[in-house]
Amino acid sequence: MSEAYFRVESGALGPEENFLSLDDILMSHEKLPVRTETAMPRLGAFFLERSAGAETENAVPQGSKLELPLWLAKGLFDNKRRILSVELPKIYQEGWRTVFSADPNVVDLHKMGPHFYGFGSQLLHFDSPENADISQSLLQTFIGRFRRIMDSSQNAYNEDTSALVARLDEMERGLFQTGQKGLNDFQCWEKGQASQITASNLVQNYKKRKFTDMED
């Protein structure tokens, strides 16, 4: 049962995202509230409600609040902070952090931003003074939810798992799938399917193709 192609895994949890990873691309597209420190000429055409008007060449004035995707905010952010200053989204702030530390299992992480852990880890690049607390909170939330993910993924064989997975964020869903795969492989072995030869998915279509060749 080997895969036909290997996906590039997400690097979002680590120091830098992987350029080619689809998960990272999706994650990076999430929006981040941001405040401009300098005026941006001619960008007012995109943000009509914030622009200073046609006279000043449609500039976005200094100090206006925008919502930019993460990849754009990361690119524009600079240590000397000339262009942007980033505000932390609510779920990474003090209030929600206490909620997470109280009971991590109750929270619906999918609603909070389906890429909670990845986005949070990349947020640390913006040098906020709360970085240490954010990373600690991410870690503790993960540890708290680990047990439930493990139990639910290893025991739900051949059932509809959508109710179990609904509150997990993307990274946790990946973990859940690994657990399910382990379970399925074990059951496969028990049933004896492991020693039967089955046609690979790549080869199953060959017969169909031959048909069309003959018709031509």
Partner 1 sequence: GDLGPFNPGLPVEVPLWLAINLKQRQKCRLLPPEWMDVEKLEKMRDHERKEETFTPMPSPYYMELTKLLLNHASDNIPKADEIRTLVKDMWDTRIAKLRVSADSFVRQQEAHAKLDNLTLMEINTSGTFLTQALNHMYKLRTNLQPLESTQSQDF
| Nearest residue (CB) to partner 1, 166 versus 194 | 194
Which residues, in sequence order, are CB contacts of 135 under 8 Å at separation 6+?
Answer: 120, 121, 124
**Smallest distance, Å, CB 54 to partner 1?**
30
* Smallest distance from partner 1 to CB 169, Å: 11
Report helix, strand or coil for 86: strand
Query: Which CB sits closer to partner 1, 58 or 176?
Result: 176
* Distance of closest approach, residue 125 Cβ to partner 1, in angstroms: 6
Closest distance between partner 1 and the C-beta of residue 85, in Å? 17
If you write DSSP's letter for every residue of 123-190 in order, what string do you get?
HGGG--TTHHHHHHHHHHHHHHHHHHHHHHHHH--SS--HHHHTT--HHHHHHHHHHHHHHHHHHHHH
Q: Which is nearer to partner 1, 45 or 194 (CB)?
A: 194
90-105: string of b/e by CB count within 10 Å (b at 16+)? Answer: ebbbeebbeebeeebe
Q: Which is nearer to partner 1, 100 or 142 (CB)?
A: 142
Q: Which residues bind partner 1 (CB under 8 A)?
A: 13-16, 79, 117, 121, 124-125, 131-132, 135-136, 138-139, 142-143, 146-147, 149-151, 153-154, 171, 174-175, 178-179, 181-183, 186, 190, 192
